Amino acid sequence: MSTLYPRLPANAAKERYIEIRDKGAVDLARLSDTSHLGQYFAATGGVRAAQDRLAWLRSQVVDLAARHGFPGRPLGRSVHEFDTTLARLLHADMNLVPAEAAVRPMWAFLAAVLLPDVTVWRFPQPPEDRLLATDITRHVFGRLWWRAELLRDDVRIDNPYHLLDVFPERNFDQILARRRSIGGSPELIRSLAKEWPKDWTGTNETEALRDVLKILMRRGAFQDLFGLPETLLRPEIARTILDVRHARTRAHADGVDEVSIGRYVRR
């Protein structure tokens, strides 16, 4: 049975956001709470998270943040490591189903009520969507849970989250930006992460990923990439990556030659 988390209605969330956005992490520790007057739960679909469970989740996250300098020191260079570890933690411990994880008020509660101090420590003076999850792919916690969800590799029982390290955040954002098409397929994203080369010396990795995604978008128009099993998908993706590498190192094709517009050749 999955766990249901409290949800914070939009108005209350907005109020809360205005209250905390300019404050520092140290001040906000006092404001954190395991419940809110306006909170509500989904009527059905799981077990409601009790306050002690929320407190436990908070302590887990705070402990992790503390190892990276919370609350006094800014995060600095270990951003990527903190994010991937937190993604693992949230995905492994929250016991969420995707349907619940797609609910914005749930993430708003987490960021604005349960962990406001960690939120502003991670994103000082955060823009609205980092807290309110108006766009979950930008939410301070929601985006991490989804990244773990999409990259979790159940084949590797010892370390199912090993793929989290492959893409830096801004690159993974490109995948999420296309979530209506290829971003919606965990199989595809996992295969992409597994085939993604480590070494991109001489090539802009971000642009290369953008191009690979574009080609997959082209292919997806007539080929059902979602339906392929991983064993068939991976060679396809490896080939696409190779194509992009060659194309990027190749000089750009010359413009269209000034030729006639072609006449039907009779046989």
Partner 1 sequence: MKQARWYSQPFPPAGSISAEGIKRTLGKPPIPWPAILIRESAQNSWDARVGGRPVGFTINLSVVPPQNANAWRTLLLEGAPHSDKFPLRQILRGREWHSTIVRTLTVSDRGTKGLGGPTRADIARGDEPRDWVSFVLNVGDPPDTKRGGGTYGYGKSILYQMSRAGTILVHTRTPTPAGLQNRLIGICLGESMEIAGENGELRPYTGRHWWGDAEKAHVEPLVGVDAEMAAKALGLQPFDADESGTDVIIVEPDLGDQSDDEAVRYLADAIAWNLWPILLEQRGTERMVPRVWHNGLSVPVPIPEKTRGLKTFVAAYRRLQEGDEAQTLLCGNPKKQLGRIALERQLIPVFEPPAAAQDLGITSAPHHVCLMRAPELVVKYHAGPEPISANLAYAGVFKALDDMDRTYAAAEPPTHDDWVFTQLEGLERTFVRTTFTRIKERLAEFARPAEVRSNAARAPLGAVSNFLGSLVAAATGTGAASALAPQMAPGGVGAERGRAEPQGNDVAPATSTAIGSERSERSGRERVSIRLDGDPYFEDSEIGLLLVQDALVVGNGHLVVQGTAGIMVADGSREQEPPDGFDEPVVLGWRYGTGERQGDELDLSDATAGQRVALVVQPVPDTITQMDISVLRAEGKIPHGS
CB of 175 to partner 1, least distance (A): 13
Q: In whole angstroms, how close is the CB of 191 to partner 1 at the nearest point?
A: 15
Give the orientation angle of helix 51-67 with respect to helix 79-93, to 10 degrees.
Answer: 160
Nearer to partner 1 (CB atom), residue 23 or residue 210: 210
Nearer to partner 1, 5 or 196 (CB): 196
Residues 6+ apart with CB under 8 A from 135: 129
Query: What is d(CA 115, CA 41) in angstroms, rounded to the nearest whole number?
Result: 18
| Cβ nearer to partner 1, comparing 77 with 250 | 250
Write out the two tokens for 216: 């997959």
Min. distance of Cβ 81 from partner 1 in angstroms?
Answer: 31
**Cβ distance to partner 1 smaller for residue 27 or 135:** 135
User: Which residue, among 200, 227, 229, has the nearest Cα to 212 in the 3D structure?
Assistant: 200
Q: State which residue, 219 or 234, has the beta carbon closest to partner 1.
A: 219
Q: Rounding to the nearest 10 degrees, give the CA dihedral for residues 134, 33, 36, 148.
A: 40
d(CA 224, CA 219): 8
Give Cβ neighbours of residue 151 (< 8 Å, ≥ 6 apart).
Answer: 161, 163, 164, 166, 186, 189, 190, 193
**CA 54/CA 20 separation, integer angstroms:** 20
The neighbour count for residue 133, using CB atoms within 10 Å, is 28
Nearest approach in angstroms of CB 129 to partner 1 is 22
Residues that bind partner 1 (CB under 8 A): 178, 180-182, 207, 210-212, 214-223, 225, 244, 246-248, 250, 252-253, 256, 258-265, 267
Q: How far is the CB of 233 from partner 1 (least distance, A)?
A: 14
* Amino acid in the structure at residue 260: S
Query: Smallest distance from the beta carbon of 257 to partner 1, in angstroms?
Result: 8
Pick the closer one to partner 1 by CB: 77 or 180. 180
Q: Distance between CA 3 and CA 152 in Å, rounded?
A: 19
Q: How many CB atoms neighbour CB 183 within 10 A? A: 19
Smallest gap from Cβ 213 to partner 1, in A, equals 9
Nearer to partner 1, 157 or 259 (CB): 259
